[in-house]
């Protein structure tokens, strides 16, 4: 292991090897957070800092994926048990989930008019797609949740990114920069002062604005369904690259599935669908500095989706829609998973066995590994979890 790699928590060797591979490809400092696992070219939970360079594959396909949480002026005890069921049904009916799925409602935003990145030919061609999808949520581990905290306050939390806009931006720039597809490939690195680098950074920042706008829209929609006023909010990316100063050096820090946590900076970190989530903030400490002021973005997977839910192959039905055909069984049965979630008093809509709580680490244990660089503000207990259904085709579930 190189001296410029900080490993937090316990990890499989192939995840550590992937971090080492990123450092060999031009990274000057690496941090593997405690929720880390192998990803596309760079581990999820992995942080790589570069000098005058940026990793397109490090940011990944879901550019600016992130979390937003808000506290409402509602108490959980004011909501009757049958109301939780109705609210869950309303959220599932009024929010749009799925790869390529347009939003059911029209979501307007100034970013479609004032961002110069649209002048890049290949990015401008995506504007109508982006308009159609703004406010839609996607699939995989993306979600919209309703929680209560220790003081019975109701919170809303969402997790998703820049949808088709970010995916197609990443695909375009990986292609023209000569990047390779797959997990066991070198990261695709470009100089920040090159034409490709400048255009990619502009497009990435646009995708970041777009992701923020989408999460804002969805959270506001949920707050209206709940009939609550927003009192507090926390909002972060965790698939992004930031230009930052560390130890007097200007670096591009690529966080893939890692939440920035500078002193006082707040973050919302989600657990599994059956576990608690958390609001935290960074602290000023030597371990935090060594970690490039980065922390986890979730609990972290411990097994693949195939291992958890079994293998399926996707075939088109008579209407041209892709449907899953079961090839092999996984470790978890979806029916039993749903029963276990119901016993916890959680209203689950969508989701599948590949998102069963047992496929994730325990969030409390993960955060314990980062205890010297963060401070926990409040724990959030899920009451409603809404996700895309298990029959949603997604080639880039993390």
pLDDT in tens, 251-267: 999 999 999 999 999 99
What per-residue confidence (pLDDT) applies to 396? 44
Tell me, yes or no, whether 123 lies in a domain: yes
Does the pLDDT of residue 239 top 70, yes or no? yes
Does the pLDDT of residue 371 top 70, yes or no? yes
What gap in Å lies between CA 157 and CA 336, rounded to an integer?
25
Angle of helix 195-226 relative to helix 81-94, nearest 10 degrees, comes to 140
Tell me, yes or no, whether 396 lies in a domain: no
What per-residue confidence (pLDDT) applies to 112? 96
Whether this prediction's pTM lies above 0.85 is answered by yes
Tens digits of per-residue pLDDT, 43-89?
999 999 999 999 999 999 999 999 999 999 999 999 999 999 999 99
Tens digits of per-residue pLDDT, 163-200?
999 999 999 999 999 998 889 999 999 999 999 999 99
Does the pLDDT of residue 99 top 80, yes or no? no
Tell me, yes or no, whether 397 lies in a domain: no
What per-residue confidence (pLDDT) applies to 398? 45
Tell me, yes or no, whether 266 lies in a domain: yes
Does the pLDDT of residue 1 top 70, yes or no? no
pLDDT band of 277, cuts 50, 70, 90: very high
Which domain range does residue 351 map to?
5-389
- Report yes or no: 146 and 218 within 8 Å, Cβ to Cβ: no
What per-residue confidence (pLDDT) applies to 394? 53
Tell me, yes or no, whether 265 lies in a domain: yes
Tens digits of per-residue pLDDT, 326-346?
777 888 888 999 999 999 999
Tell me, yes or no, whether 11 lies in a domain: yes
CATH number of domain containing 66 = 3.90.1860.10
DSSP states of 140-173 as a string? TT-EEEEEEETT-EEEEEEEE--HHHHHHHHHHH
Does the pLDDT of residue 202 top 70, yes or no? yes
Tell me, yes or no, whether 398 lies in a domain: no
Neighbour count for residue 275 (Cβ, 10 Å): 18
Tell me, yes or no, whether 113 lies in a domain: yes
What per-residue confidence (pLDDT) applies to 139? 87
What gap in Å lies between CA 279 and CA 116, rounded to an integer?
34
- For residue 255, how far is the Cα from the chain centroid? 11
Tens digits of per-residue pLDDT, 127-160?
999 999 999 998 888 999 999 999 999 999 999 9
What per-residue confidence (pLDDT) applies to 100? 75
What gap in Å lies between CA 262 and CA 238, rounded to an integer?
13
SS3 122: helix
Does the pLDDT of residue 102 top 90, yes or no? no
Range with the poorest average pLDDT among 198-207, 272-281, 310-319: 310-319
Share of the chain above pLDDT 70, in %: 96
Which residue, chain included where needed, has tokens 């080492």?
20
What gap in Å lies between CA 170 and CA 211, rounded to an integer?
14
Does the pLDDT of residue 318 top 80, yes or no? no
Q: How many domains does the chain have?
A: 1
Tens digits of per-residue pLDDT, 283-317?
999 999 999 999 999 999 988 888 887 876 767 87
pLDDT band of 391, cuts 50, 70, 90: low
- Mean of per-residue pLDDT scores for the chain: 93
What gap in Å lies between CA 19 and CA 58, rounded to an integer?
11
Closest by CA to 340, choosing from 356, 329, 316, is 356
């Amino acid at each position: 292991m190189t001296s410029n790699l900080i490993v937090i928590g316990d990890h499989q060797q192939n995840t550590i090897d992937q971090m080492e591979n990123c450092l060999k490809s031009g990274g000057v400092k690496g941090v593997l957070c405690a929720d880390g696992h192998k990803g596309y070219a760079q581990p999820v939970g992995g942080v790589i800092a570069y000098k005058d360079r940026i990793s397109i594959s490090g940011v990944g396909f879901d550019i600016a994926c992130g979390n937003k949480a808000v506290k409402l002026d509602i108490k959980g005890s004011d909501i009757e048990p049958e109301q939780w069921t109705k609210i869950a049904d309303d959220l599932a009916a009024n929010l749009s989930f799925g790869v390529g799925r347009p939003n059911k409602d029209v979501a307007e935003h100034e970013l479609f008019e004032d961002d110069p990145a649209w002048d890049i030919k290949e990015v401008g061609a995506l504007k109508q797609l982006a308009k159609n999808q703004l406010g839609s949520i996607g699939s995989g581990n993306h979600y919209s949740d309703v929680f209560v905290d220790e003081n019975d306050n109701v919170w809303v939390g969402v997790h998703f990114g820049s949808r088709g806009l970010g995916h197609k931006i990443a695909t375009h720039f990986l292609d023209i920069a000569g990047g390779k597809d797959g997990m066991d490939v070198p990261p695709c690195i470009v100089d920040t002062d090159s034409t490709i680098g400048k255009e990619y950074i502009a497009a990435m920042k646009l995708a970041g604005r777009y992701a923020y706008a989408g999460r804002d829209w969805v959270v506001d929609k949920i707050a209206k369904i709940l009939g609550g006023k927003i009192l507090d909010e926390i909002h972060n990316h965790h698939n992004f690259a930031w230009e930052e100063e560390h130890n007097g050096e200007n670096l591009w820090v690529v966080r893939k599935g890692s939440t920035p946590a500078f002193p006082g900076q707040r973050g919302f970190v989600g657990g599994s669908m059956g576990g608690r989530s958390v609001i935290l903030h960074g602290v000023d400490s030597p371990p935090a500095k060594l970690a490039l002021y980065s922390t986890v973005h979730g609990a972290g997977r411990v097994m693949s989706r195939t291992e958890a839910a079994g293998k399926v192959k996707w075939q088109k039905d008579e209407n041209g829609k892709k449907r899953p055909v079961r090839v092999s069984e996984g470790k978890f049965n979806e029916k039993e998973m749903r029963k276990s979630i119901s016993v916890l008093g959680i209203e689950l809509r969508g989701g599948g066995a590949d998102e069963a709580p047992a496929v994730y680490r325990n969030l409390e244990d993960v955060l314990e590994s980062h205890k010297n660089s963060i401070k926990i503000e409040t724990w959030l207990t899920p009451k409603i979890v809404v996700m895309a259904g298990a029959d949603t085709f997604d080639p880039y579930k993390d």
